[in-house]
Structure 1
């Protein structure tokens, strides 16, 4: 097991996600020929880095209403009951259940993801990007995490078949996180 001290600059503490410097994005197959990319501009959360790396934890909330794909009509449709039903389910949550070092710089962050009231276990491939001072006298940490989910398993199960076969929106969704967090002052 990799110890926390094996990560250069590792700092034990409680961190707040800096939404202005973090990115929660996704891509999904569209019309069987390309991918649509989007992001959520509203994310909050807390990371706790522990003395024993495997005791570290993450809780995060995504504002589902903050979705943007660069096309307002599509964003409105995705917010509707056909997809995310943001009037009924305005927030999604993630709560970690474990962190495992896979060797070298490779980690797996396991947890429970809730979308549209459906909670399923997910695993993120996690990269620890680093720890260090910021320009304001504080300390920052950065992380990259990726996973793939099936939207249908979270109740986003709209079927939009195409005349020639296939579907308008694929079921497999790639999720990419770039998280920057700020250490709370003692």
Structure 2
């Protein structure tokens, strides 16, 4: 049996991140342009052969143009040299019920590190247009400093401006492709 290919439905998916600002509030950002492709041995998503996620760093949005420009600068993502974030999954582990862990390598700037994210399979349905769709909620955490995103500043009171822990969250809908 040939593997099943799935691609992201960008209209029904979103990828966001959250980081502490001044250690007292949380700022949320999004990647407006991203891609996800998956190969599964069947349609059940009980196993995954490969998942590749890419995000266009130029599409970052925190609802603040000045902050977005700073995030694209060499202080953070350095989009002139590194315009893509990439995650390639190499293992899909069943935890219990609809809960899974997706293990893979995350590449930001010129640094690649192993990362594990939690995945909840929301279900697989056929939409009104006859397309088979699978829905997922994905959550994870990374240290931005481990990926070379080390810029920071200190307030007069000694607090850091940007936290190290980045919380990742995605709502993803994948569409089965005809072979």
Q: So what's the TM-score if we normalise by structure 2?
A: 0.93
* Aligned counterparts of 2:48 and 2:67: Cα–Cα separation in 1: 41
* Aligned counterparts of 1:150 and 1:97: Cα–Cα separation in 2: 21
- The correspondence of residues 28-107 of structure 1 with structure 2, limited to 5 A, is 28-51=19-42, 53-107=46-100
Deviation at 1:55, TM superposition (A): 4.2
* Aligned counterparts of 2:99 and 2:128: Cα–Cα separation in 1: 29
> Structure 1: where are the runs of 5+ without partners?
1-11
RMSD across aligned C-alpha pairs, in angstroms?
1.4
Q: So what's the TM-score if we normalise by structure 1?
A: 0.89
Report the equivalent of 1:23. Answer: 14
- The correspondence of residues 105-124 of structure 1 with structure 2, limited to 5 A, is 105-124=98-117
Contact 1:95–1:113 at 8 Å: present in 2 too?
Answer: yes
Contact 2:98–2:122 at 8 Å: present in 1 too?
Answer: no
Query: For this pair of structures, how many residues does the alignment match?
Result: 175
Report the equivalent of 2:126. Answer: 133
Match of 1:73, SS state, is helix
Contact 2:38–2:48 at 8 Å: present in 1 too?
Answer: no
* Aligned counterparts of 2:128 and 2:47: Cα–Cα separation in 1: 30
- Flag the 1:16–1:175 CA change in 2: closer, same or farther, 3 A: same
**After TM superposition, where is structure 1 displaced by more than 4 Å over at least 4 residues in a row?**
none
Report the equivalent of 2:166. Answer: 173
Q: Encode CA deviations 1:104-132: one digit per residue, 9 max, x unaligned.
A: 22211101000011100100111001111
> Structure 2: where are the runs of 5+ without partners?
none
Q: Which range is displaced more, 44-53 or 135-144?
A: 44-53
- Flag the 1:70–1:55 CA change in 2: closer, same or farther, 3 A: closer
Q: Which range is displaced more, 148-157 or 133-142?
A: 133-142
* Aligned counterparts of 2:31 and 2:146: Cα–Cα separation in 1: 20
